[in-house]
Amino acid sequence: MDEVRAAGGTAPGVKEWQEDLSQAPISTKIVVAGGFGVGKTTLVGSVSEIEPLTTEALMTQASESTDDIASTPEKTTTTVAMDFGRITLESDLVLYLFGTPGQQRFWFMWDDLVRGAIGAVVMADTRRLEDCFPALDYFESCGYPYVVAVNHFEGTTAYEAEDVREALSVPRHVPVVIMDARERPTVLKSLLALVSHALDVTPA
């Protein structure tokens, strides 16, 4: 190797290795946040190309006083740590998705989950918009780029994105999208909106 350096050349195989590195896909971390039962686990599962890692636990009577399931009476489990999935966009961009727990008693884990992320998708349920305020406040205060993804549930009133923006007082530069966490195309639209927004806000 010393002889190669002295000659100003490149060791056999190094050039090919460097070219491989230049073609390696970019890995990006995205956080999916929001209130309890808003659909974070469903979103991660609907787009992940690998079997998603979930930390779902059965809900018990012990949580009745803290978890409001009036809007989601069919919900029997809840995320107690995080959800994790992966999706490849084209051949040069891999997104790693980290879903946060929604209950206040698990918020202490958010700082660790968001470390290294380019931004967040904050999910909202129009039946209980107030549940996403803590996530909005968190990412605003941290300076992380984020988009608001309104998860439209069956049987609920469909609202325009601008109506939700006004109700939540979301800044004009922050994208607000309407989606269905069960439908892969609409989830992809939300993820791409975040990637584009993050590039605009923090090009580096």
Are 175 and 197 contacting, i.e. CB atoms less than 8 angstroms apart? yes
- Dihedral (C-alpha) 97, 89, 42, 83: value to the nearest 10 degrees? -20
Q: Which residues contact 3 (CB under 8 A, 6 or more apart)?
A: none
* Domain boundaries, given as residue ranges, for the chain: 25-57+77-201
pLDDT at residue 26 in the model: 86
pLDDT at residue 156 in the model: 85
Q: Domain 25-57+77-201, what architecture?
A: 3-Layer(aba) Sandwich (3.40)
Q: Residue 179 — φ and ψ, nearest 5°?
A: -150, 175
Exposed, middle or buried, 111 (CB in 10 Å: 0-12/13-18/19+)? exposed
Instruction: Measure the CA–CA gap between 31 and 56, rounded to whole angstroms.
Output: 17
Are 184 and 131 contacting, i.e. CB atoms less than 8 angstroms apart? no
Instruction: Measure the CA–CA gap between 148 and 163, rounded to whole angstroms.
Output: 12
From first to last of its 204 residues, the chain has per-residue pLDDT tens of 444 344 444 444 544 534 554 566 789 999 999 988 899 999 999 999 999 887 655 444 444 445 455 545 454 454 445 789 999 987 788 999 999 886 665 566 778 888 999 999 999 999 999 999 999 999 999 999 999 999 998 888 889 999 999 999 999 999 999 999 999 999 999 999 999 999 999 876
The three-state secondary structure class of 80 is coil
Are 127 and 156 contacting, i.e. CB atoms less than 8 angstroms apart? yes
pLDDT at residue 60 in the model: 45
Q: Which single residue is written with the structure tokens 């129009």? A: 126
